[in-house]
Amino acid sequence: MSAQLLGLHRPGDTRLHRLGAGVKLLGLMVAGVVVVVVRGPVPALGFLAVAVALLAWSGARIVATVRAMRWLLLTAAVLGAWTVWQHDWPRAVEVVADLLALIALATTLTVTTPVDEVMDAVAHGLRPLRRVGVDPEQVALAFSLMLRAIPTTLSLAEDSRHAALARGLERSPRALLVPFVIRVVARARDTGDALHARGIGD
């Protein structure tokens, strides 16, 4: 899996691009509930087909997206094998197809919607909760930081793996994990310092 999976926004003029970020977020939430609640391998494969069609319609480069998802696909295969062992084939097909459908739908959202618009929609949707002490802007900022941190963390993991390979230590967990953890912590501290310098989170 790489940072590309998170769907760098691709400008376009499709109906998906023209829909408001709030509508797409709500649609993603409803679709997620439906995918999880509806049981059976046949509906799951149907959901996956629809999700892939939407992703293709969004203008995402399918080949590049699949390449970016290679580690996730491997994880899904392992999950499917484990589900077969614990349950049966129909259940495994349902679990894997549901997972991939949700990822494809989320990627479609990020491909067709700039992150700033998603954050504005989150803040707008949370405004009614201001009465009970929720700060919509702070929640939206946290959500934005989380989204931006995922590809950054994946990139740091890839850099650490390449560094270990260059030293011939690709089989050493310590050579992989220690530099990775140090880099992640350093990036988190830099982010915290930048926010503090702007008076955010004081």
Q: What is residue 49's predicted lDDT score, i.e. its pLDDT?
A: 93
CB 111 within 8 A of CB 58: yes
- CA angle, 51 then 139 then 101, to 5°: 10
Burial 123-151 (b: 16+ CB within 10 A, else e): bebbeeeeeeeeebeebbbebbeeeeeeb
Helix ranges restricted to H, the chain: 15-18, 21-37, 41-57, 62-68, 70-86, 89-112, 115-126, 136-166, 173-197
Taking each helix axis from N to C end, the angle separating 41-57 and 21-37, rounded to the nearest 10 degrees, works out to: 160
Residues 140-180 have pLDDT tens digits of 766 666 666 656 666 667 777 777 777 777 666 777 777 77
CA dihedral angle for residue 43, residue 46, residue 52, residue 58, rounded to 10 degrees: -100
Q: Is the pLDDT of residue 135 over 50?
A: yes
Q: What is residue 43's predicted lDDT score, i.e. its pLDDT?
A: 92
Q: Is the pLDDT of residue 3 over 50?
A: no
Domain ranges of the chain: 3-113, 136-197
Residues in the chain: 202
pLDDT band at 115 (very low <50, low <70, confident <90, very high): confident
pTM for the full predicted model: 0.67
Burial 4-42 (b: 16+ CB within 10 A, else e): bbbbebeeeeeebbeeebbebbebeeebeeebeeeeebe
First to last CA, the chain: 35
